[in-house]
Structure 1
Amino acid sequence: MCPGWWLWPLVAVCAADVFRDEAERIMQDTPVIDGHNDLPWQLLKMFNNQLQDERANLSTLTGTHTNIPKLRAGFVGGQFWSAYVPCDTQNKDAVRRTLEQMDVIHRMCEMYPETFLCVTTSAGIRQAFQEGRVASLIGVEGGHSIDSSLGVLRALYHLGMRYLTLTHNCNTPWADNWLVDSGSDDAQSHGLSVFGQSVLREMNRLGVMIDLAHVSVATMKAALQLSAAPVIFSHSSAYSLCANRRNVPDDVLQLVNQTGSLVMVNFYNDYVSCTEDADLSQVADHLDYIRKVAGAGAVGFGGDFDGVTRLPTGLEDVSKYPDLIAELLRRNWTEAEVRGALADNLLRVFEAVEKVSNETLQAPEEEPIPLDQLGSSCRTQYGYSEASTLYHQPGALLAALIFVLRLP
């Protein structure tokens, strides 16, 4: 028997403490930037966005994965808050609902200025870090939120949107969602339509990050090939470890590597283990795998807190980030790699997106989506004259010419 065998549990505990202490040391000056948090959606569901309700106090809020004490304990220094509205708002009140969710994010910053700083630039994130506040950015989750309008896209940019998820769990008239790959939905655009390509060019011009979480593989590849700037997956994991179509397959991870793009790993059990149960170690497996296939610069965190119903053991809320960082250190990640995953990789991508925007000289995209590609009979048709409609519908134009030729 090995002398002192009874000491090994104590040694393991001490080693764990060392990694945890090292994680906190690193996170003191490189806090985590999380790519996706659905707290604004919870505020809508629980309080109809009435932040002055005593129960909505973010310092004491219960029943959520996120509140101010948990953010502090988790060393969260940057957060993309999701302005999310469900797919059933498409062709209805999606724009209005999106504006309301963006408004509640701005009001969070106004009500808790000691904690949150609403920012729209990479420099703003660095400023928030220096001030010890949570850099708060807006990600609009779902292309249906722009209602197939380049004007709405630009307006949301001016209101603070800095990434747009091209689809949620439904196709837009110009991009296909991930359910196409699972067979639960039919392909419409087979990636991106001509108008969808215009949306991406305009996002590059504005400086809005292209988010490929929730899109089909064909849409992923089309966007990665078209975009002049790196793209992000704000909350997705590795398909090879969990064969859920919300995750990123290896051939796309190769494109992520080639384009300097970023995969921010999702913590939802169903995307981590493909079962209802998962643990922190399995999340670290996804981080390891993406680092191996796409490179250390391609890794980030997109926990999906307050947007999912099941989270891994050890990652029950936003306060647990230091434990995940400690696990990466235990797995021999270098300090530079850890800092990259925490914040530096996202900052690099954001700065590259800003650089492309600053160097783009093209005029704003103006060609509207063809009227016949829009859904819902509730729409008005201002701006779509008969002539312009015919111009965008070759079949209709041909029918009109045949009709004219038949006139006596």
Structure 2
Amino acid sequence: MRIILFVLTMLLIDHAYAQSYKKIHRKAIVADTHNDILMKAADKGIVFDQDLTGKTHSDLARWKKGGLDVQLFSVYCDGDVKNPFAFANREMDSLDAVVARNPDKIAKVSSYDELIKTVKQHKIAAMFGVEGGHMIEDDLNKLDSLYKRGARYLTLTHNIAPSWATSAAEETSNPNLQHKGLTDFGRQVVQRMNQLGMIIDVSHAGDQTFWDVIKISTKPVIASHSSVYSLVPHPRNLKDEQIKAIARNGGVIQINFNPGFIDSSFGAKEKAFLIRHAAENDSLIKSGMGDFYTMDYLYNKYAEEANQIRPPLSLVIRHIEYIIKLVGVDYVGLGSDFDGINLTPLQLDDVTNYPLITKALVEKGYSKTDITKILGGNFLRVLKANEVK
């Protein structure tokens, strides 16, 4: 009898615990500041108000299932794409079409107040984040145009940078750069973004570009999808002094789920995977598939091998906790990079798994208030602080 009572008690405790983290997740406003589904819509012609389970990390129904409330949709193209501003607008068209077909499920919002209203209506609040300053084509009028279409942040650089700001990739791979950081026009871009109420995103920025931004921006910045350099010394991650500077600025670092950014051993594992499949990889590249989609193909084809090298969810939490311990709980959030990465951490298979982050944070002993900040509250504070009064 005692054994039965013990088992029943444990089941009740487990049920109460599960209800606890699920309730916290349901009541929080969950915001993800970086998702690349628009890239796949443009490249592959996918329609993401259809069920894309097994094909992508994201679709409209799965966002809702994962409890997501706010999505910043990355608008991205490679630096060698002709007419990148026109390409950006085409990607934006694909989201607008989904919104038009699903007015009861998702809505584009342009302000904090509209966002809150939309979330209360149980719809996903959608905004754009333009990933790469090259997409404004050195024209402030095009920056204004993207803002009017719903872009609420601009990632100043991608790996291939614009003429007016240097990227992390450039600054670390080319020691002979004649100029690092923002040019005079780059400073004009930052100043115009402050005037518009458009958030400056320092993910992908080179160190000098980062410090130039911190010096001149009058508004809080974000790193929309970056992780911690002290844990994983990748050029795309943020060093301790940069994290401290973002905290002093009132900004927020949105942790990226990319295995190479959260797991210091991943690079060697991925290299070994590629060596095992070198001939197939080379053939696919030569066929014109491109590096990103070649890796997608190989990881899907050899899924059992791929699963062996995926880092655990605990490493995502480790990066979140590092920032909390360094500067406090007010300066960290989620920028998954779903559909812009080939592999995800274990348990975070797709966007339905956001609640597992909440569960992990509850298990670590974080309060409901702190978890609510991490899941989206910190980003919402920065969004509101950037708005022009």
Same fold judged by TM-score > 0.5?
A: yes
Q: Deviations over 1:197-220 (max 9, x none)?
A: 110000000010000111111111
Q: 2:342 aligned to 306, 309, 314, which one?
A: 309
**Is structure 2 residue 295 aligned with structure 1 residue 297?**
no
Does the 8 Å contact 1:173/1:188 carry over to 2? Answer: no
Q: Is the 8 A contact 2:132 2:161 kept in 1?
A: no
Tell me how far 1:257 sits from its aligned partner.
1.4
Q: 1:78 aligns with which of 70, 87, 94?
A: 70
**Counterpart check, 1:60 vs 2:60:** no
Q: Secondary structure at the match of 2:71?
A: strand
User: 2: CA distance between counterparts of 1:337 and 1:294?
Assistant: 14
Equivalent residue, structure 2, for 1:378: none
Within 5 A, what are the aligned runs for 1:208-247? 208-247=198-237
TM-score normalised by structure 2 residue count: 0.83
The question of whether the paired residues in 2 share the 8 Å contact of 1:263 and 1:300 is answered with yes
Distance 2:12 2:330 in 1: 31
Distance 1:256 1:175 in 2: 19
1:90-129 equivalences under 5 Å are 92-129=82-119
**Structure whose CA Rg is larger:** 1
Q: Distance in 2 between matches of 1:170 and 1:66?
A: 26
CA contact (8 A) 1:256 1:294 kept: no
User: Would the aligned equivalents of 2:348 and 2:354 in 1 still touch at CA under 8 Å?
Assistant: yes
Report how far residue 124 of structure 1 moved. 1.4
Pair 82,187 (structure 1): closer, same or farther in 2 beyond 3 Å? same
Give deviations 1:129-152, integer Å, cap 9, x for gaps.
100000000111100000111111
- Aligned-partner Cα distance in 1 for 2:210–2:14: 39
Retained in 1: the 8 A contact 2:166–2:180? yes
Decide whether the 8 Å contact of 1:94 with 1:147 is kept in 2. Answer: yes
For the residues of structure 2 that align with 1:187 and 1:111, how far apart are their CA atoms? 48
Q: How much has 1:283 moved relative to structure 2? A: 0.3
CA distance in 1, matches of 2:197, 2:36: 23
Q: Note the C-alpha offset of 1:21.
A: 2.5
State whether structure 2 residue 315 is matched by structure 1 residue 282. Answer: yes
Q: Which residue number corresponds to residue 318 of structure 1?
A: 351
Identity of aligned residues (%): 30
Q: Structure 1 pair 15/292, CA: closer, same or farther in 2 (3 Å)?
A: farther
Which one-letter code corresponds to 2:113 in the other structure? A
Q: Please tell me the root mean square deviation across aligned C-alpha atoms, in Å.
A: 2.0
Compute the displacement of 1:69 (Å).
2.5
Cα separation, 1, equivalents of 2:332 and 2:149: 28
- The CA distance in 2 between the partners of 1:160 and 1:57, in whole Å, is 19
Q: What is the letter of the counterpart of residue 237 of structure 1? A: S
1:40 equivalent among 23, 38, 41: 38
Indicate conservation of the 8 Å contact 1:58/1:68, yes or no: yes
Q: Report whether the alignment pairs 1:197 with 2:190.
A: no
How far apart in 2 are the matches of 1:170 and 1:80?
A: 22
Which sections of structure 2, spanning at least 5 residues, go unmatched? 271-309
Letter in 2 for 1:210: I
Q: Is the 8 A contact 1:174 1:189 kept in 2?
A: no
Matched, 1:87 2:79: yes
Aligned 8 A contact 1:171 1:188 in 2: no
Select the residue among 26, 29, 38 that pairs with 1:28.
26
Q: CA deviation at 1:27?
A: 2.3
* CA spacing shift, 1:321–1:26, aligned 2, 3 Å: same
Q: 1:79 to 1:188 in 2, by over 3 A?
A: farther
- Counterpart position of 2:292: none
Aligned length: 341
Residues 4-34 of structure 1 deviation map (CA, whole Å, 9 limit, x = unaligned): 9xx89x96x8766554422221222223110
- The counterpart of 1:158, out of the listed 124, 148, 151, is 148
Provide the rounded CA distance (Å) in 1 between the counterparts of 2:211 and 2:13: 43
TM-score, with length taken from structure 1: 0.80
Decide whether aligned partners of structure 1 residues 302 and 151 sit closer, same or farther in structure 2, where only a CA change above 3 A counts. same
Q: 1:282 Cα shift?
A: 0.5
Distance 1:333 1:96, change over 3 A: same
1:69 aligns with 2:61: yes
Which stretch shows the higher mean deviation, 293-302 or 201-210?
293-302
Contact 2:48-2:98 within 8 A present in 1 as well? no
State whether residues 229 and 237 of structure 2, in contact with CA within 8 Å, keep that contact through their aligned partners in structure 1: yes
